[in-house]
Amino acid sequence: MRLWRKFAIGSAAGVVLAGGALLALDAADKAFPPPLDKADMLSAEVLDADGQLLRAFATAEGRWRLKTGVADVDPQFLRMLVAYEDQRFYDHGGVDVWALGRASLQFVRNGRIVSGASTLSMQVARLIEPRAERSFAAKLLQLARAVQIERRLSKDEILDLYLTHAPYGGNLEGVRAASLAYFGKEPRRLTVAEAALLVALPQLPERRRPDRNLQAAQEARKRVLERAAVAEVVGDGEAGRAEAVAIPMRRMQLPALAAHVAEAALRKQPAVLKHQTTLKKPVQQGLEAVARAAAMKLGPKLSLAMVMADAQTGAIVGEVGSADYFDASRSGWIDMTRVNRSPGSTLKPFIYGLAFEQGLVSQETIIEDRPADFFGYRPRNFDMSYQGDVTVREALQLSLNVPAVKLLDAVGPSRLMVRFRRAEVRPVLPPNETPGLAIGLGGVGITLKDLVQLYTALADRGQPARLGDGITGTPEKLDGEPLLEPVAVWNVADILSGVIPPAGAPQRGIAYKTGTSYGYRDAWTVGYDGRYVLGVWVGRPDNSAVPGLTGYGTAAPILFEAFARSGIATTPLPRPPAGAVRIALSELPISQRRFALNASGLLVSSGREPAPQIVYPPEGAHIDLGAKGGDLSPLMLKLQGGRAPFRWLANGKPLPDLSRRRTQQWQPDGGGYSKLTVIDSAGRAASVGVFID
């Protein structure tokens, strides 16, 4: 009886001591948790729209450490890793007691370490809390940390940490960084030879680096393949074949695409590790390859920029800000897609579009290309020659300057600028200047991105898209009135799709327009099919002249090559809308057979008197008449052309009296938008929309 009492007391004491030990361990675990927060020090990544890596940035300490999860790597690699490093990984709680006992016994028998007992959990503990010394105390701490980690994380989460932090030599850490550096690909699909090398390197990463010690890397990979457990995973025959596969002898650069977009993404959200963009990696790779090749041909100090956008969504799918981001001689750090430059003749299609929309001309209308004087402004053609009588179609295809200015004079520069605002594009005028005829030949500043945004309207039946910044936010089609009516858009596309491609360029079924700014400072071309718009700019970032630089000779070949290298199949241009036809000259109405202006600058069609035109206020003008104060001043209205008497209407309501004068006063009843219309005695009308402030 006394013996049973002692046993009961001893058992109770054991339980108390065990409980106390557990409580002590729990208290220590809570007081000294593993430094898992250090595992969050990762490389920032910039991804394309499909999640593919465009560019990675080294960590603050200069390491390539890309976040990697179990789902990011080849399953066979994971099986090989566990078979080689920690066969009982899924069964133990951080410490493999059997492996620890075996290693201890071997050490006692041989007086040296024969095999290790380090589990993957213990390796993770060492990776997130590295220690310089290899002491018994450090090993005990590693054991304790492994147990702590197992209590906090699942097996897959522990593998995630190993896959992210395993050392691979130099500043490479993690399986993704190593796979990209040695194989040039993500580790989702690995061969047996590739997987075995990635399993072998972390044990002695510096000694086994393939780019510095090829033989050591080969021997290490061979040991992995010969391990019995690994052989069971891959099969003896496959392991033997893998041994014969060559090991890469050099380390490749990690993806470094879209330099300007990537830098902008980091500036916009510096604390974010993964930045999603709207870019498409294959498109971006193609555009950058074309840019590199073109830069070599262009010569020193010249740069180039490209923007490719989806006209239906507004998403930028490819963007090149300069010929070479790291080339100081070309000021490569400057993103030339966002710099205002003179667009040359690239705005002419919108002038012709307005003329088509207003019924002033058709494609076969005859227009004169001869020297002309517009109140002191004397435009000249690029080659200093003149073609005489040409069709409107020929005038746009040949990019003749005088016909374009004549049409702009007829439709009105202010009306053109108002249309640009419908696309949320505001070209920059010279200081203290109002819209004039020079804007038709490049007398404004515009960015390549904004120019592409304008052309999205031509690619999608007149409805422009708001381009995103390529980083965040959802691009979208713009609400409201179209930039041009569909029939006018079709006429422009029908003409531009007939422009001859540059020598040697394939016919891709695209419409395109070139432009060269005054003084050979900028070469442009913008092309589009039924879905995508691509804009190209070439020039010097310092705005210096480059003799011989032209849109057709310099930028257009790059456009066609970039379209081809983008990998995007050509989408046919939209079908003609209702009412869109190409009419022969002989079948045109008499009023559209020839376009001309009289000495006063008024439109004359086939000898008939000019139609009325409102010359003040201009279309879209904001006029301060004191609306805020409540005491509105009258507005003076002026017109040219037409046959008296004239009837004026304000917001659809006729003014009290007919007038034979070409000036009239109108007293608004309030501020805001108003539409003014004048009708002459022949029933011809003209209208403008203005804002009363």
DSSP readout, 472-505?
Answer: SS--EEPPSS-SS-HHHHHHHHHHHTTSPPPTT-
Structure tokens at 395: 């005038």
Q: Is 280:257 a contact under the CB 8 Å cutoff? A: no
Q: Is 129:35 a contact under the CB 8 Å cutoff? A: yes
Phi, psi of 115 (to 5 degrees): -140, 150
The residue with tokens 């008499």 is 590
| Residue 414 appears among annotated catalytic residues | no
Structure tokens at 264: 């902008």
Contacts of 362 (CB under 8 A, 6+ apart): 356, 392, 491, 583, 588, 592
143: part of which helix (H) or strand (E)? Answer: helix 136-152
Structure tokens at 619: 């279309």
**Residues facing residue 428 across a β-bridge:** 445
Pick from 286, 292, 197, 209: nearest CA to 246: 197
How many residues are recorded in the chain?
Answer: 693
The residue with tokens 């279309």 is 619
Q: Is 65:41 a contact under the CB 8 Å cutoff? A: yes
| C-beta contacts of 428-437 below 8 A and 24+ residues apart | 428/340, 435/618, 436/377, 437/374, 437/377, 437/379, 437/405, 437/408, 437/409, 437/413
Q: Is 649:580 a contact under the CB 8 Å cutoff? A: no
**Residues facing residue 647 across a β-bridge:** 679
CA 137 from centre of chain: 53
The span from the CA of 268 to the CA of 258, in Å, is 15
212 by Cβ neighbours in 10 Å (0-12 / 13-18 / 19+) ranks as middle
CA 418 from centre of chain: 27
3-state secondary structure of 691: strand
3-state secondary structure of 27: helix
Contacts of 209 (CB under 8 A, 6+ apart): 168, 169, 170, 201, 217
538: part of which helix (H) or strand (E)? Answer: strand 532-539
| Residue 345 appears among annotated catalytic residues | yes
Pick from 410, 413, 407, 411: nearest CA to 438: 413
The span from the CA of 353 to the CA of 463, in Å, is 13
Which entry of 322, 342, 345, 414 is annotated as an active-site residue? 345
Phi, psi of 239 (to 5 degrees): -65, -40
**Catalytic center residues:** 85, 345
